[in-house]
Amino acid sequence: MGLTSHKVLAIAVLAALLVAAATVRGWPRLAAPGPRAVAGRIAALLATQLALLLALGLAANDWFSFYGSWDDLLGTAPGGPVTVTTGAPGDGLRVLGREPVRGGGAVGREPAASGEIQAVRITGPRSGLSTDGYVYLPPQYFRPEYAGRRFPAVLVMTGFPGDARNLITRLNYPGAALRLNLAGRMPPTVLVLLRPSPAMPADTECEDAPGGARAETYLARDVPAAVAAGFRISPDPRSWAVMGNSTGGYCALKLAMRHPEVFPSAVALSGYYRAAEDATTGDLFGGSPRRREEADLLWRLGHLPPPGIAVLLAGAERGDGDYLADTRAFAAAVRAPMSLATATVPEGGHNFRTWGLLLPAALEWLAGRLRVS
């Protein structure tokens, strides 16, 4: 039986109940003095706790789809091929530190050989928000022959409540981009690595909440303006793109669909299509059904004119809950001038391993849509 099988979960819950019942029933006999009774009590408590933790872990995995199979959980699943299919202002940014890039055979080298990661704080005058993140500058940025060159840029967002540093330590976007760059499969590109919420600990879902945080304004207006003012970014409207995983994937699609003049291309790694509403989000829509509908990307495709953008939806064919069914529904609703491509791995959960497998193909797809000055 598979890891996400409801039978496995039912068996685990039943086992936890039986172990707990056996512990309660046998406790009087274990209450006697002596080392054997003490050892029995310890064993009974450990068995009860482990059975309960196993059931809770399986339930959490069933809900969030962290792992799609036993091999995925144990890290023994074959990677499998990634299949890509074509379908239907300056003071707002402050550099806090610098570090080298790992990957691409360039660890510890000079920036002109491997590029550089800069820790930054981006403050938004329009939104009144600010957050810390990272900017990766490609090696060509530091070479004299490129001194007059302006570069394309990609806004990259992690999931919620993830740390922007996960985009470096867990997914290694800079290393992946560097390898593609050195292989001639991606133009030298600036990466802006952020959380999807500039108002932590709230989950803003990249929305301008009435009377609340203006996260959409921050990400679609303040961040591009600050980055363009602080670095040599191409002024060409086709030089920007947006991508992310999980919540960051939903945000990437939403920002591109709402602001095609800013982000004409978008990539969603295991993204979803409807804004979450829970204790972490609070009231995102001020009680307005219309605002809630407009944050539903499937609703937008069915009721509003399609934007002239290109999107890549990337995820697992099996193991990530409702992802595949929801993605098929979204893809079926796409119509011109919007264009769609998909990238899939045969199996994978809602986790960094799946996104890491998809990342090189996603960046290479995006590279073909970035306008280079």
Domain residues of the chain, as ranges?
6-63, 83-367
299, 310, 292: which is closest to 362 by C-alpha? 310
Encoding tokens for residue 246?
């999980």
Tens-place pLDDT, residues 346-355: 988 899 999 9
Is the per-residue pLDDT at 253 higher than 90?
Answer: yes
Give the three-class secondary structure for 182: helix
Q: What is the pLDDT of residue 49?
A: 82
Q: Are 334 and 365 in contact (CB under 8 A)?
A: no
The alpha-helical segments, DSSP class H, found in 31-165 are 35-64, 70-74, 111-114
Q: Say what the pTM is.
A: 0.77
CA–CA separation, 175 and 99 (whole Å): 13
**DSSP secondary structure of 81-102:** PPEEEEE--GGGEEEEEEEPPP
In the block, tokens 């990677």 appear at: 79
CA–CA separation, 101 and 138 (whole Å): 10
- Of residues 36 and 58, more confidence is placed in 36
**61 contacts: CB under 8 Å, gap ≥ 6:** 3, 4, 67, 349
Q: Among the listed ranges 4-8, 99-103, 207-211, 221-225, which one has the minimum average pLDDT value?
A: 4-8
- Considering the domain 83-367 in this protein, what is its CATH number? 3.40.50.1820
Gyration radius (Cα) of the chain, Å: 24
Tens-place pLDDT, residues 167-212: 999 999 999 999 999 999 999 999 999 999 999 899 999 999 999 9
Is the per-residue pLDDT at 306 higher than 90?
Answer: yes
Tens-place pLDDT, residues 16-53: 788 788 777 777 776 777 777 777 777 877 888 887 87
Tens-place pLDDT, residues 218-248: 999 999 999 999 999 999 989 999 999 999 9
